[in-house]
Structure 1
Amino acid sequence: MEYLKNRMKIFFEEFLSSYWIVVFFLAYIVFKIWSNLSMGASIATAFRSGLLGAFFYLMGCFAISFLSVKNEMIKENSIKIPGEKSKIIIYVVMGYAAFLFAFTYDIVLKRIDGDGFLSFIPGYDIFLDFINQSIAVPLSEIFEPYSRAYMFSSATGVLFYIVIPLVLFSLLKLKLWKVFNLNNTRASWIFVVGYLVMFTMNSQNNDFIWMLLATLVYPALAEEFFHKAVVLRSVNSLTKKVGTAIVVSALIFALMHFPERYLVTFDGNILQTLSEIMTVGLFGIFTGYGFVKTGTIIPWVIIHALSNVINIM
């Protein structure tokens, strides 16, 4: 009993004491209720949907805290940046995140009507065509289950979410490879096993296995690497407030999904889009807290990939 009380105290101090985390959970509940009511759900159903969603994610985060090998946050989750460099790093990270959002929006627009808004950049369309013809087309012919569009997304995703940040931060003398380890993963085991069970129970054929393998690379590895190893750790190094870093990382992660959800999935319905974006953000908070308690992105990449495939099944 004393152990449970101690763990609850740690969870409150680390997680629930963060103003921004609490605000995010409340915003999720509000948008979920509002969205459900707009679609004709009863008040009881709308409230149940919002409250249960928040409750399950909250319990997931508590389980991470309860099962963690160490009581404290893993220290490696802050990149050691000299004081005079920290603000410069944040400007670079936020500027690059803004570019990624614009790029994502542009690609979705091109897919819908063939006309984006970044074509004015010299060489932009030529570069995209090069990626498409030299990488996406050959890969789609080798791996027949996957379309050229998916291979294009994967190629650009790996390039912009992993390769360029690695090169950029290496030039800034910052090491990002420490996030690939298996030292303190105990807190993630129950979730990895749970998602694997759900995947196994719902997978009907080998296509889902191929889909999982592809999703592990993109978007799972690409997104987890950028949003955790780069964004979360950089913000944490500057603010020294891990709760703030988790929320900023989750918000940027969620916003990257806005173009697809708004323009394609919900066909311009802003309320449903924001409700879904808050759900994506809450998943980002869950995996972000898991990252800062384990110091690795590996299990959260697996969980991310499994979650994506299960949602498609």
Structure 2
Amino acid sequence: MTQGVPVAAQRRSATAVRPRVDVSALVHLRTRHPEAVAEAAARRVRRPLLRASERLLIVAADHPARGALGAGGREFAMANRADLLERLCLALSRPGVDGVLATADILDDLLLLGALDGKVVMGSMNRGGLQGASFELDDRFTGHRPQDIERLRFDAGKLLLRVDYSDPGSLTTLESAARAVDAMAERQLPLFIEPFLSRRGPDGRLRNDLSAEAVTRSLAIASGLGGTSAYTWLKVPVTEHPEDMAEVMATTTLPAVLLGGEAGGTAQEQAAAYEKWRGALQLPTVRGLVVGRSLLYPADGDVAAAVDTAAGLLGEQHDDQ
């Protein structure tokens, strides 16, 4: 059996020392032993999706496959793959982090690095709606297929569902999403749907509507996709007015996690994001957080501290129950 690429030992220590990823060793392994990815997936130590607390903290890193590379005010922050992998390995090593959401290329690297043992692994399924493209809303399923998630022994899938009532491409995405719901349910695999009502502004850029009315409609649409909702979760943004979240979340009985989004480039904006999450986490259907750039590229650069703060929010809710 081919062995993986070692990550620096301090990755599993209690300190926040950032690990170093040996890109040359990764490329060598990919070049000479491409079967190593499947072997690493087969021997990965799995865990249940939920533990006793019924809370989830997932770090998201599926943005690059859609051409969305910006973070923290830097247009190409996520373009350096070694840097991204090091941030991910550090985040995954912190207490309270349950797993990762990413596309195949990133998950393959993390498998080879041995960073996914005992973690929830979510495959990102539709990344065809490239950021800024004229076809952005025709969000084809160009990532993990249900059979890939099953074959690799991953734990769940995620799809993005953006709907613009004026764009026919949305109908293609809706139909494809419904069939993905069916295919995942046939395999008894959870599927996290991230729905938005979206529209193009005068500059042609696509923007998601975070009003309470729009988020409510998007949840209703996503909840009804497919032949069963038994394995469907929702990945929900906090509305532009966080005090509306209780009424918005009353739209569905499906379990949900909060979408973190990008908190902004300042410490104040980061703190404000934590407060929004804290309030919404008190709602009965909300079971956790799926956050990417806000934790991986925080305003002060301290990945460990950002991750620990988010984990602490979930711990607060567990203690209150």
Q: TM-score, with normalisation over the residues of structure 2?
A: 0.23
Higher relative contact order by CA 8 Å / sep ≥ 6: 1 or 2? 1
Q: TM-score, with normalisation over the residues of structure 1?
A: 0.24
More strand, by proportion: 2
Question: Is the radius of gyration larger for structure 1 or structure 2?
Answer: 1
More helix, by proportion: 1
